[in-house]
Amino acid sequence: MPVRKAERDRQQLIPLPTMTEERTGAILQWPTPRSGLGVGRVQEVFTLSLRTVVGIVLVSLTMLVLSTVLVASDELPLLVLFYAEDCSSCEEMNAFLEGILFGEPSTRLARHNVADNESIRLLQSLCRVYGIEVPTTVPVLFVSDQVFVGYEGRTQEIAMTKPIGDCLADSVQYGCESPIARLPSTQIREDLPRLLLLLGVFLALAWWQVR
CATH number of the domain bearing residue 106: 3.40.30.10
**Residue 186, pLDDT score:** 52
Q: Do 162 and 129 share a domain, yes or no?
A: yes
**Which one is predicted more confidently, 155 or 15?**
155
Strands (E), 91-154: 109-113, 140-143, 146-149
Indicate if 61 and 91 belong to the same structural domain: no
Average pLDDT taken over every residue of the chain: 74
Distance, CA of 68 to CA of 63 (rounded, Å) = 9
Query: Looking at the structure, do residues 56 and 141 belong to the same domain, yes or no?
Result: no
Q: Give yes or no: residues 69 and 83 share one domain.
A: no
Number of domains, the chain = 2
With H, G, I as helix, E, B as strand and everything else as coil, classify residue 136.
Answer: coil
Note whether 140 and 196 are same-domain residues: no
Q: What is the pLDDT of residues 55-110, one digit of tens each?
A: 666 666 555 555 444 444 457 899 999 999 999 999 999 999 999 998 888 889 99
Mean pLDDT, range 174-201, rounded to an integer: 68
Global confidence as pTM = 0.56
**Residues paired with 146 in a beta bridge:** 143
Query: What one-letter code names the amino acid at 194?
Result: R
Range of the domain at 84: 79-177
**Is 97 inside a domain boundary?**
yes
Say if residue 146 is in the same domain as residue 112: yes
CA dihedral 120, 126, 128, 134 (to 10 degrees): -50
Measured distance between the N- and C-terminal CA atoms of the chain, rounded to whole angstroms: 61
More confident residue, 160 or 203: 160
Residues 57 and 109 reside in one and the same domain: no
- Residue 45 in domain: yes
Clarify whether residues 148 and 65 are in a common domain: no
Give the residue-averaged pLDDT of 17-40.
52
CA distances from 75 to 32, 109, 146 (A): 68, 11, 20
Tell whether 88 is covered by a domain.
Answer: yes
Least confident of 8-22, 117-131, 137-151: 8-22
